[in-house]
Amino acid sequence: MSEVPDIALVSLGTTPGLVHSDESFAELVRAAGATCEVVPVRIGGSGALRRQIAVTDMVEALAARSSARDVEAHAIVYSTITAALLQRPEVPYAIRFDATASLNRRGLGGAWQRAAERRPLRAARLLVPVSHGAEEGLPDLGEEGPPVERIPIPIEEIPAAPVRDIDAVAYAGYPRKRGLEVLCEAWAEAGPEGGRFLIGGLDREKGVAWLDRHRVDEPAGVEWAGQMEREEWLRLVAAARVYVNASRWEDYGLGPLEALSAGTPLVTVPTPGSFEALPMARQLGAELVSDDLVSALRAGLALGEGERSAYAARAAELLVPYRREHVLEVVRERVLPALGIEPSS
């Protein structure tokens, strides 16, 4: 940009979800009448050192500080707490985050991160968690702590397919985190004869290799969708009878929220973390949320057409605060003024 932007968004972007989250926030800032420059964090060769969580966070924090060193803007937004850990900007700043170190960096491996996050959190002009769980995970910052404004990732309205010809879908791009072996064991027990279970995010070679490591047979009916464009994936989610989740940890959980937006019932284990869709899933159908994924999946697949339509209608009501128009109003009326930005008309 030829002029100094209102906001520089320092984007760590280490996962597709973070990239989508940052792009979404930048679009909201621009739609609210401010200019926004996305500053990608370049990790470079030091990325090979990311083998243990304490080292990973240090490498990413150093890379974020280096990438933001010469940035000029009237205000800065850091896309994660890790990106803000070592920063000392001279302009007002906010931190947007899906989890704190206090929440997801427990134990010895997170000791320095938990201690280090208090300074940038306390000095921020505004804290912007994306979920209720992230907000609840904030450490005690005392009476001088900055205001907190929750800004979720907007969830678009996704039309359901005319025919739901896929029995179940799941995303398992990171098989360990997503519990791929748990998903397949549940499907092997509860999936209908001749049914279809579509798994996105990885191909068959990678999926079967992971199952072999855990001595789990590839069940009948599994279709490996691999990597695909987001629009195509959402089309498949909207054509499914249920969306199945067995993740071991969720910092936000965009996929399950998108499933609810498509009116696709969420069958899930009670994944720990700031899993935004979990309270909704319990309200919508407690029998579909269980440590026993087999029984939850059976209950989800047993839903009739009328029950599924009622579930979709209730889900749409719960998602109203996540729609773009609602989130945009909060950005315009609360976030920009807190950073000293006066939006253009």
The model's pLDDT over 196-236, given as tens digits with 9 standing for 90+, comes to 999 999 999 999 999 999 999 999 999 999 999 999 999 99
Proportion of the chain above pLDDT 90, given as a percent: 82
| Secondary structure (DSSP) of 166-229 | EEEEEE-SSHHHHTHHHHHHHHHHHSPTT--EEEESS-HHHHHHHHHHTT-PPPTTEEEEES--
pLDDT at 227: 92
Q: At what angle do helices 180-190 and 293-301 cross, to 10 degrees?
A: 50
- Report the predicted TM-score, pTM, of the whole model to 2 decimal places: 0.85
**In this model, does residue 47 exceed pLDDT 80?**
no
Place of tokens 């939850």: 296
Judge contact between 13 and 41, C-beta under 8 A: yes
User: What is the band of 2 on the pLDDT scale with cuts at 50, 70, 90?
Assistant: low
HSE on the CB side for 232, CA within 13 Å? 8
| Secondary structure (DSSP) of 97-140 | ES--HHHH--SGGGHHHHHHTHHHHHH-SEEEESSHHHHHT---
**In this model, does residue 1 exceed pLDDT 50?**
no
The model's pLDDT over 281-290, given as tens digits with 9 standing for 90+, comes to 999 999 999 9
- Tell me, what amino acid is at 252? Y
pLDDT at 149: 96
HSE on the CB side for 288, CA within 13 Å? 28
Report the chain's mean pLDDT, rounded to a whole number. 93
With a CB cutoff of 8 Å and minimum separation 6, the contacts of 8 are 36, 37, 39, 68, 71, 72, 73, 75, 76, 77
**In this model, does residue 65 exceed pLDDT 90?**
yes
pLDDT at 49: 64
The model's pLDDT over 90-134, given as tens digits with 9 standing for 90+, comes to 999 999 998 888 888 888 888 999 999 999 999 999 999 999 989
> Could you give the CA distance from residue 91 to residue 221 in angstroms, rounded to a whole number?
55
Q: At what angle do helices 204-213 and 180-190 cross, to 10 degrees?
A: 90
Question: Structural domains in the chain?
Answer: 7-154+323-338 (3.40.50.2000), 166-321 (3.40.50.2000)
CA distances, 340 to each of 2, 15, 96, 291, 335 (Å):
21, 30, 17, 46, 9
